[in-house]
Every structure is written in C-alpha cells, then in structure tokens.
A and B are shown apart, each in its own frame.
Chain A
Amino acid sequence: MRRISLIMVGLLAMAALFANGCKLWEKDVIVLAQGKPEIDGQLKAYAAAWAEENGVEVVIKSCGGGNCDLGQQLKADYAAGEMPDIFAINGLEDYLEWQAIAADLSDEAWVDKTDVAFVHNGKTFGFPVSIEGWGLAYNADILAEAGVDPKSLVNLSGYREAFAKIDSMKEQLGLDSVVSMAAGTEMFWVTTHHNLNSLLSNGLQYGDTSVVDQLLAGQVDSKRLSEYVDWVELLFQYADKAILTTGNYDAQVGAFATGKAAFLHQGNWTDPNMADANATFEMAFAPHGSMEAVTDGIFVSAPSFYLVNVESANAELAKKFLVDLATTSAGANYIVKEAKMIPAFTNITLNPDGQLSSSVQDWMSQGKVYSWNQYLFSAEFRDKTLAPIYNQFANDQIDKARFIQLLTEAFQNR
C-alpha cells in the first residue's frame, strides 16, 4: 500500500512539473489564426524568421477559402480553451463576438501610421492586415477598341451608354458578355458583401454611415434604392447568364482574364488569378455607377484585422509581433513583395506588382475612395435574407418592382 502511494505521489509530482514547468526548457509560443490560405506559406516563412530572431516560436493557423471557416474554427478553439493569441476578424460584427477578449491596441507604435485600423468607441483594437479595394475592373484594351472612355464610367447613364455600345460590338470584340458578374448561391458574397456596398456608401464621405444608420433604423430612401436597383439590373442584364446564375469564382474571373468579358465585378485580390491566366492586357478599376449623380471613387478598406487576445499569457509578445510586422523592413517586404498585398501603413513605400492593386493605390493617392459599410450588417442578414433576394432577381424569378419591394421589406423587418 505504501509503495502504491509513493508511486502516486511521484506521478503527481511529475504531472505538476509537466503542467507548470514547460517553460523551463521550452520557448514562448504565440499562435496566429488567419483566414487567407493564399498567403499561408509567405506568412509562415516571415513568422519563422521573426521567431528565430526573437528566440520564440510562432505558429500560424490558416483557415479560409472553400473548406474552412475561420469564425467557426475560432469558436471551436474558444470552447476548447485554445484561443489563439492573435486572430483575424472582418469587421464590427465579428468584433462584437470577441469584444470581451480584444486587447486595446491604442498605444501601439503602428497606430499613427495607418488610417484604416479597426476602431471602436475611440479605441484601436484591430491591426489592419492589408488594404483591398474594388470598383468595376475593366479591360482597357477592349474599351479602347470599342471607343469607350473609362472616364465616362462614373454614373448610371455613363455605364448604360458604354454597356449598350460594347454589347452591340460583342462579336467584333470577341466577347461572350459585357460584364462578368456572379449571383449564384455559392457566390452570395459578390452581391451581398460587395455589390450591396454601392447602396451603403457610394458617393458618401469616407466613414460616413448615414445611409447604413437609416437602413438599420428601418428607413429606406426609396430614390437611392431604386437607382441602386437600376445598377443591379444593368449588371445582371449585360452579364453572361450561365455565369450569373451558376458560375463559380473561377468561371467569373476566368471570363474576364481570358478576354471574354470587358468588365469584372471583383476586387484587386484577383491579381494572382490574372497572373496565373497570363492576362497581359491593360486593366484598371472604374467607379461603380450605382447613382445618377457622379460618384468618382472606388471602395477601399482593410478587409481584415488582427486582434490580440487579452487573456493570452503572451499578449505582450503578440503585440510586438504586430509592431514589427508594420514597422520593420522585413515586415514590409513580406506584406508587399511576398504576400502581394497593398500595405495599410504609410511608412511602407514598396508597391505591389499587380495592375489592379496599382489601380487601387492610384485611387487612394487621389483620395477618391468610399468606405466598406457592408460589415455593419450581420452575416445572417446579408447571407440568409438578402442573398436569396438577389438570386431570385438574377434567376428571373421576380421582376424589378418585386425586387425593390423585397429589399425594402427586408430592411424594414430586419
């Protein structure tokens, strides 16, 4: 009996040593969970170099794209007590989910070097991962051949004229359709994460949420909405019907990259796809023409932000990781040259290679940008309520009047 208790005590002591004593011979570890699988390799390489330099270990978990959902993964990690030290969010709705554990980053060295950090109630919480933007991407060669001046593409009437003209010359230009647009169920994000923003922020000052506030209160500006619906109708009308209703991302981007469509409703994240498809033509972004009034600017923002987990034992180390990412030349090189993103920090002077990314930077340098307000609505509202309405319209199941009515009701009964 005594022997058994001796063994038990020994085992307990060992267990205690393992539980608490790991740090005696192991390095500090910070875990970063992010949602862009396409930059996984580059981020791992940068993190490994940084970890080496600082004598710690950095683990990168990438979860995104078609087969992994970061928000869902974070919930599983949180329930299991393994919340990462740094994790990515998309905007306000995501932030509210994790508000209780988001560290206040207002005093960090990178805060005064960016305009697009995630700020809530006057405090900075989110480190901007990059800058992304979209307008309507156009194939400049085709537009030149058709005699359309991209500068005229700033409002509804400009687009009406241009679309009609290009549509009449489709055979001559070798086009299948004028604009490559997707509104299938799988591609709900093109309509309710991107196109919807034309209604919410086009023509407004950067950061102006007046339209969103009205809609959140259930008040619908019917003039603004009906002009916006004209824009949606125009895009749907001149789109390739097969891509519009059933096409996936590859089909939509592919049609533009191979010169089968003159316009593409996507953002600068398609640059690597263009390179893969050897698209050599000149391309750039034109503003969305969702209003009769001239709206001379494109939609630009940080698409995701890193939050630091305040409950983490290594929160200070995690903050240093972010500071170094924004302020060192190795960090700048990773952001711009390796991950091919547009930097969100003014101290970084490198330029990305892609044509569409350059176009976004052009618009930014002229100050002609509108904000992303779509994340002020919940994912549930956009994906489960609005997306089926767009899909009904794209599939010709409902007419324009009914489309307007359903949108209005959706905002009123949200």
Chain B
Amino acid sequence: MLKKRSQFVFWLFLIPILFAFLMVVIIPFFLGIFYSLTNWSSSARLGATLDFVGLTNFIESLKDPSFIYSFLLTCVYTTLNILAINAVSFGLALLVTSAIKGRNIYRVGFFLPNLIGGLILGYIWQFIFNNAIPTLGEVLKLPFLSNPKNLILASRNASVVALVIVGTWQYAGYIMMIYVAALESVPVELLEAARIDGASGLQRLRNITIPMVAQAFTITVFLTLVNSFKQFDVNVSLTAGGPSTIFMGKPMNGTELLALDIYNTAFVSNNLAQGQARAFLFFVVLVLISVVQVRAGKKREVEL
C-alpha cells in the first residue's frame, strides 16, 4: 500500500515536467519531422494545400550549394572553436587555481562575458572590429590596421577567425569554471609525491593533472562542440553571414553557419518546410558527432 502510494506521488510530481517536456519538445519534434515531408508554408497562398512531398525537401537541401557550404563551414568553425575555447579556458583555469594574487576577481572577470547576450556581444565586437581597430591604427600610426582593405569583417577568412575570437571570449569563462572544479579535485598528495620524486611542473601537468581531469575534457569538448555547432546569435549580429564568397560557381554568404542557413531558408526564402528538413538533418548530424565524441572521450578517463 505504502509503495503504491509513493509511486503515485512520484508520478504526480513528475507530471508537470513531463507535460512541459511533451508539449515543447516531444510533440514539436515529431510535428517538425512531419512538416519536413510536406510543402507546408504557414501562409495563405492562393490554392495552397498541405501536400505530402516525400523526401523532396531533403534531396533539394543536399543539392543546394549554400547548404553544403554552410555545413562545411560549420565543421571548420566548430573545430577551430573547440581548440580555441578549450586551450584558452584550460590556460585560464590553471592561472586562477595557481597561487596568483586576486584570483577570485579573475574568475569573476573571465566568467562575466558569458552573462552578456550573444546578440549584444556581436554588436560590441562588430564595433571593435569595424571602428575601434581602424581608429587605433590611425592613432598609433599603424597603416596596416587603419587601411580599409584590411578590415577584419570585410574578408571571409578573417571573419571566420573573428567569429572564433568572439565565441572564445564569450564561452571560455564558462568552460574555465568546469576546469577549475576539476583541477581543484585533483588530490594534492599525488602532486606532492610527484614533486618529491623530482617531477618538473610540465611533467606533473602531463602525467597527473591532465589524466585526472580527463572527465572534465569529455564534458567541455561536448559542450563546446554542441555550442559551436548551434552558433546563431553571434553569427547574426557580428557578420550577418557576410562577406560573400563564391562556392561551386555560386555567389553566396561566406560566413553563414548552419543555424543561420536554416533560418534564412525558412524565413528569407519563405520555405519553412525545407528549413525544417535542414533542421532535422542538422539534428541527426549533431547527435551522431556527439555520441562518437562522448564515447571516445570516456575511454581516456582515469578513475582513482
């Protein structure tokens, strides 16, 4: 009787969250898959009906050079971003867990950019790249910086790097916090024993600290991977997808990441169903990559 009752309470407490999860995740997810197989437009075109079109949306997406380009670009961006964010945040974490003065202030300071919304952050950095840096070049008499030909956001490759810089600036503090927690849980005895045995700082880092925080690496790489793959707000506000480039003989936006490409397909091209199809492909790829990454990461973890 008691067991039955506690079961009832268990489900009772779960109902609100289950209801919310069902309404905003599960149902929209399957509706989305359904719509991606139709010609849905959510508008009142004359004589428009909701027709089942099979895999047309998927096939057309895979044939579209701008989708292929966005996909490749997103892979490049994600790789660069994972490397940059993790290198910077691990370095910062080592710094703020060392005996440096005022390390608590540093922790807060490095974390702070994460609290600013991505859109605002993008506009701030756009101002820095477009106005602050050229002005600095004029003041310091560095014509390289002030020459409009060298504007960072006017070149495709430099713009991708700019996206990585801003992404790192925004996210490194957050990842740093995870590393800090991991670094602080590394047993002091191990490090002390190694020091007595005469291991150098670098040796201690490579042979003790890094294996001990491998668990954190699995999490941080996963987080940065998913986050970089889904990058949208900074992309919109910093570069808006530009400058342009030519890919497979077709001029197109040069820094349009996948999320922005999906958005533009849905709302600029007025093709909601195809946008939905691309979003589904995006989901599948992201799940596959994440699963592979977490599996690979788990193998490296060391348990004490």
Chain B residues 167-199 with CB under 8 Å of chain A are none
In whole Å, how far is B106's beta carbon from the nearest beta carbon of chain A? 33
Secondary structure of the A contact surface, majority rule: helix
Contact A97 B267 (CB under 8 A): no
Most buried by B among A75, A242, A385, A388: A388
Contact B46 A395 (CB under 8 A): no
Contact A388 B253 (CB under 8 A): yes
Q: Kindly state the interface size class of chain B when it binds its partner.
A: 35 or more
Interchain Cβ contacts within 8 Å, total number? 115
| Binary interface encoding of chain A residues 387-400 relative to chain B, with 1 for a CB under 8 A from any of its CBs, else 0 | 11101100111100
**A380 within 8 Å of B (CB atoms):** yes
Residues of chain A contacted by B264 (CB below 8 angstroms): 384
| Binary interface encoding of chain B residues 239-256 relative to chain A, with 1 for a CB under 8 A from any of its CBs, else 0 | 111111110000111100
| Binary interface encoding of chain B residues 7-39 relative to chain A, with 1 for a CB under 8 A from any of its CBs, else 0 | 000000000000000000000000000000000
Residues of chain B contacted by A186 (CB below 8 angstroms): 240, 242
In whole Å, how far is A128's beta carbon from the nearest beta carbon of chain B? 21
Most buried by B among A248, A380, A389, A397: A397
Binds A, one of B88-96, B146-154, B278-286: B146-154
**A79 within 8 Å of B (CB atoms):** yes
Question: Known contacts being A185-B240, A395-B244, is A97 close to B148, with CB within 8 Å?
Answer: no
Contact B268 A383 (CB under 8 A): yes
Question: Known contacts being A185-B240, A185-B244, A384-B66, is A246 close to B154, with CB within 8 Å?
Answer: yes
Give Cα A380–Cα B66 distance, bound, in whole angstroms.
Answer: 13
Chain A residues 74-99 with CB under 8 Å of chain B are 74-76, 78-79, 96-99
Contact A97 B45 (CB under 8 A): yes
Residues of chain A contacted by B155 (CB below 8 angstroms): 395
Q: Kindly state the interface size class of chain A when it binds its partner.
A: 35 or more
Contact A388 B252 (CB under 8 A): yes
Which of A99, A380, A388 is in CB contact (< 8 Å) with B270?
A: A380
Q: In the complex, which residue of chain B has the Cβ closest to the Cβ of A379?
A: B268
Which of A67, A242, A380, A396 is in CB contact (< 8 Å) with B269?
A: A380
Residues of chain A contacted by B6 (CB below 8 angstroms): none
Question: Known contacts being A75-B272, A185-B243, A383-B268, is A242 close to B148, with CB within 8 Å?
Answer: yes
Residues of chain A contacted by B268 (CB below 8 angstroms): 379-380, 383-384
**B43 within 8 Å of A (CB atoms):** yes
**A6 within 8 Å of B (CB atoms):** no
Residues of chain B contacted by A380 (CB below 8 angstroms): 268-271
Chain A residues 43-83 with CB under 8 Å of chain B are 67, 69, 71-72, 74-76, 78-79
Residues of chain B contacted by A378 (CB below 8 angstroms): 270
Chain B residues 200-254 with CB under 8 Å of chain A are 239-246, 251-254
**A368 within 8 Å of B (CB atoms):** no
Residues of chain B contacted by A398 (CB below 8 angstroms): 246
Contact B42 A75 (CB under 8 A): yes
Contact A99 B45 (CB under 8 A): yes
| Binary interface encoding of chain A residues 163-191 relative to chain B, with 1 for a CB under 8 A from any of its CBs, else 0 | 00000000000000000000011100000
| Binary interface encoding of chain A residues 98-140 relative to chain B, with 1 for a CB under 8 A from any of its CBs, else 0 | 1111100000000000000000000000000000000000000
**B100 within 8 Å of A (CB atoms):** no
Residues of chain A contacted by B45 (CB below 8 angstroms): 96-100
Residues of chain A contacted by B271 (CB below 8 angstroms): 380
**B79 within 8 Å of A (CB atoms):** no
In whole Å, how far is B146's beta carbon from the nearest beta carbon of chain A? 9
Most buried by B among A69, A186, A396: A186
Contact A392 B244 (CB under 8 A): yes
**B134 within 8 Å of A (CB atoms):** yes
**B44 within 8 Å of A (CB atoms):** yes
Q: In the complex, which residue of chain B has the Cβ closest to the Cβ of A409?
A: B249
Contact B251 A184 (CB under 8 A): no
Contact B130 A246 (CB under 8 A): yes
Which of A78, A185, A391, A410 is in CB contact (< 8 Å) with B42?
A: A78
Contact A78 B43 (CB under 8 A): yes
Interface pairs (14), CB distance under 8 Å:
A67-B119, A99-B45, A100-B45, A184-B240, A185-B241, A186-B242, A245-B151, A246-B130, A380-B268, A384-B252, A385-B251, A389-B244, A391-B242, A391-B244
Where the two chains meet, the residues of B that have a C-beta atom closer than 8 Å to any C-beta of A are: 41-48, 66, 119, 126, 129-130, 134, 148-149, 151, 153-155, 239-246, 251-254, 264, 267-272
Ordered nearest first, which 6 A-B pairs have the shortest CB separation? A185-B242, A388-B244, A241-B148, A391-B244, A100-B44, A388-B251
Beyond known contacts A96-B46, A246-B154: 17 more, CB 8 A cutoff: A69-B267, A78-B44, A97-B45, A98-B43, A98-B44, A100-B44, A242-B148, A247-B130, A379-B269, A380-B270, A380-B271, A384-B253, A388-B245, A389-B244, A391-B242, A392-B244, A395-B244
